[in-house]
Structure 1
């Protein structure tokens, strides 16, 4: 476990680097839908036949509010919203099909939320069959969805499996009743066990459980208990996330408890290190940041083959140059540019019904952005990166200067043309990536933007 001195030194606000530049540093003034479309068309021509595309579909509805959640969601028990939203998704998909020069080949598809299993199996089938009818499917496809243990049914699992879904992740968070009450996510172990066993019985090849450390009222015993319960089910992957406390961004949803109810930075790091130790004893291997998998899972294999990728969906076992996000607040990425959809459902409906892409902001990457993006992506996925001709030392001496601090703390191995994160440096991967973040260097945030790194 890192020393308290290092934890105190590096426990500062910082991005999770699902992109570079990070969203607060997007140059929105120089972005337009026209520029987004132009870069998308270029990237699609370069990559579709070679590797296909990824689709992320945001399904925002939830029946109740979880107070730990930082996702864009709409709380309702009225299920008549489903088809209206699905029809808007299909309209947006058609807008993209009109832009693209040929039939897209879908390699990756992820249903996120919100709560995708809020939607009925019949309506999800209707959505996906309509999307697939105007695309080709890659032979090495990877389709996944997020399921809520309380409302994911056999019918959900079977319907999506029949459509090619072989991976599912279930949000567990913590099994302690006091913690569950604080975050307003009440779900007994039996519900998680039931859906895990159902998914395995149906034939899902990769089942993931999402656990969170740093939640209100969590202590070491509670985390140990949650992991011991998880061991009973042996999910193929485990995401062991740090709780991102950002109430200044998400408002009332994350104010269901007091700041003093949260573990301190030192305690939070202890929860992670002890959890990591237990997971490794159970046969799981740490992948990048926050993720663990069994050797048999494709995420572990992609790490060995150096094919692992990270984007707005998190870590994936394969990569595509183009990722199109459908739905309210979704973010798209074509490598050369990012684009985000409108954040309210009403505005989203208005745009797509007017036959316009519902994009409201984005960023066109400069050559410097692309250079830095590659290094941050290497560090987040492979824990190392390399450069040629001493280009960083010559052109960006400030990066080397910032990296020397980590070198002095024995967290990285730094040479003239490479950087390797040491085992004891994994806890500070976000901080190390921040050394490359030229946009943050040039414009240090004056207000709260990010969660704490530890």
Structure 2
């Protein structure tokens, strides 16, 4: 089957698989806060020497980027910073009471929203408030997301002094027409200057986020963006497919499907980006990610130690991930939980010393097995089935095998080179909860 035919066949709504089960299929009616906290305590005790991962969601932005699918709060009132920081530290204290002793932080990430919405001084208060009550692994990695338009020298120096060595700049596209539609503005000169400044301060890994499939995006514009990016030489590049979900994110209604590249053009944009980055010396890692050979993400991929969690791909592997803040998701290995999604409700729950958990899921034995195989496919491009591939899964794999996207070698499934562009579709063959609860409502973005 030729590439265009494959695109038409597999360009369907599909999860991104930062977890299994995916959030829409959590059994929330079987979940309780008590079970969740017990699972956190047990996993912490079982893997105490391993360390934990910590994700902190900072939701505030001064303006709405219309493409964005994240949980955000748009405001120019910076008076919101201190109350939110106080609540984050209090939530962390509540978890520390559950853990019972000092945890060891192996991974810490500030996401958003726009973390650099917060002043450098307030970010220092937050990080010190977290770190003074725990230890750090020798190989701990701290990272944060930054907007090139509002990240200052003070931000970079302050966070570097606190232990941050990796950061990610949200670029998306340099085409002025695209930037106007998505309401996100930064010039190549701005990005070049802030990138150079970060390197001079000492940051060892800089990531650029790019998106293909944005409104009015075209081959010439993306080519120019890629040329600028390659010149700036970031260590990593995340090249995401635009997720058009206006039923979930009303900001995306600023434009219509007619303004977006059609599926054929979008696939051309994907191949343009992939081939350009590989030619420039980047290696294709997992799904959507590219890294230089010196970068820890590439090294982990080579060693088959790449990991994927709710924060995306990482070379750090912990069984316990605690998410703090509005809408943050936590993973105790045997259970998931997600916090409430509005700032007001979050602050109110914390004020009353209640965990701000809105929903969750307790993983069954089958969930754990399927999650392992989905993670293997997403990270390593292969998975071994010691007891053989279940018949139900094998049936779902048959068309993927016939189309040359995967191959079977005895009990091992391998993703082919052609199949790397269809990882989400391949994982769907294992998604038993998706088969069982098929719905006519589109709840996921298109795969490619």
TM-score class, shorter-chain normalisation, is: over 0.9
Counterpart for residue 172 of structure 2: 173
Structure 2 counterpart SS, 1:141: strand
Counterpart for residue 244 of structure 1: 243
Counterpart for residue 6 of structure 1: 6
Contact in 2 for aligned 1:65/1:253 (Cα 8 Å): yes
Counterpart for residue 78 of structure 1: 77
Are positions 1:319 and 2:317 aligned together? yes
Counterpart for residue 374 of structure 2: 376
Are positions 1:195 and 2:206 aligned together? no
What value does the CA root-mean-square deviation take over the aligned residues?
0.9
Q: Take 1:246 and 1:413, find their aligned partners in 2: how far apart are those partners?
A: 33
Q: Take 1:280 and 1:416, find their aligned partners in 2: how far apart are those partners?
A: 31
Counterpart for residue 266 of structure 1: 264
**Which structure 1 residue ranges, 4+ long, deviate > 3 Å from structure 2?**
none
**How big is each residue's C-alpha offset from its partner over 1:159-213, in whole Å with a ceiling of 9 and x where there is no partner?**
0000110000000000000000000001111111111001100000000000000
Are positions 1:24 and 2:10 aligned together? no
Q: Take 2:130 and 2:273, find their aligned partners in 1: how far apart are those partners?
A: 40
Q: What runs of 5+ residues in structure 1 fail to find an aligned partner?
A: none
Structure 2 counterpart SS, 1:151: coil
Q: Take 1:345 and 1:286, find their aligned partners in 2: how far apart are those partners?
A: 37
Are positions 1:124 and 2:118 aligned together? no
Q: Take 2:239 and 2:42, find their aligned partners in 1: how far apart are those partners?
A: 37
Match of 1:339 among 337, 340, 350: 337
CA gap 1:229/1:247 in 2 versus in 1, 3 angstroms: same
Structure 1 counterpart SS, 2:105: strand
Q: What runs of 5+ residues in structure 2 fail to find an aligned partner?
A: none
Are positions 1:349 and 2:347 aligned together? yes
Q: Take 1:117 and 1:276, find their aligned partners in 2: how far apart are those partners?
A: 29
Q: How does 1:264-303 map to 2 (within 5 A)?
A: 264-303=262-301
Q: Take 1:132 and 1:18, find their aligned partners in 2: how far apart are those partners?
A: 26
Structure 2 counterpart SS, 1:97: helix
Q: 1:446 Cα shift? A: 2.2
Structure 1 counterpart SS, 2:247: helix
Q: 1:2 Cα shift? A: 6.0
Q: How does 1:361-372 map to 2 (within 5 A)?
A: 361-372=359-370
**How big is each residue's C-alpha offset from its partner over 1:331-387, in whole Å with a ceiling of 9 and x where there is no partner?**
000110000000001110111111111001010000000000000000000000001
Structure 2 counterpart SS, 1:143: strand
Q: Take 1:88 and 1:27, find their aligned partners in 2: how far apart are those partners?
A: 28
Q: Take 2:376 and 2:337, find their aligned partners in 1: how far apart are those partners?
A: 22
Counterpart for residue 34 of structure 1: 34
**How big is each residue's C-alpha offset from its partner over 1:119-141, in whole Å with a ceiling of 9 and x where there is no partner?**
00000000101111100011100
Q: Take 2:421 and 2:404, find their aligned partners in 1: how far apart are those partners?
A: 12
Match of 2:252 among 251, 254, 267: 254
Counterpart for residue 47 of structure 1: 47
Counterpart for residue 100 of structure 2: 101
Q: Take 1:222 and 1:35, find their aligned partners in 2: how far apart are those partners?
A: 51
